[in-house]
Structure 1
Amino acid sequence: MTAAYAFTDYRAQGQTIPSVLVDIGKPPTGTLSLFNLYVALSRKLLAEDDRLERLNEQTARWWKKMKDTLE
């Protein structure tokens, strides 16, 4: 069991959160709009894109170093 807490997409906006679980099921009250989903997912997706870009750059440097070593 993992301790956790919840807050709204508006509350999470602008925060850096290492991992999230986004429940996109029908809420018991109110509605879930595409805007709410965008807010909930966009930060995490942008952070993951940045992480993958850094890994790509690190890998390219590593391969260049390996190539230079063999020459």
Structure 2
Amino acid sequence: MHTLLENVGHEVENIDFIYFERAFSNEVRPQKGESKELYWFTKEEIESNDTIKPHVKVMALDALRILSNI
């Protein structure tokens, strides 16, 4: 759904591919080396949270809008 090109302060830039998907449960099981910082937010929590970066907020709200119409 989205592609991000990020300069993380090194000579190499990161390319992130953002996919949207519905979850069948709220249980998460990060694998070794994956982030354990995972959060579930409502639309209202996303909209009112000033600590979420603007581009992340746009993608999160976009995901909720698209997936709620499926």
TM-score by length of 1: 0.31
Which of the two has greater helix per residue? 1
> With CA pairs under 8 Å and 6+ residues apart, which has the higher RCO, 1 or 2?
1
Which of the two has greater strand per residue? 2
* Structure whose alpha-carbon radius of gyration is higher: 1
TM-score by length of 2: 0.31
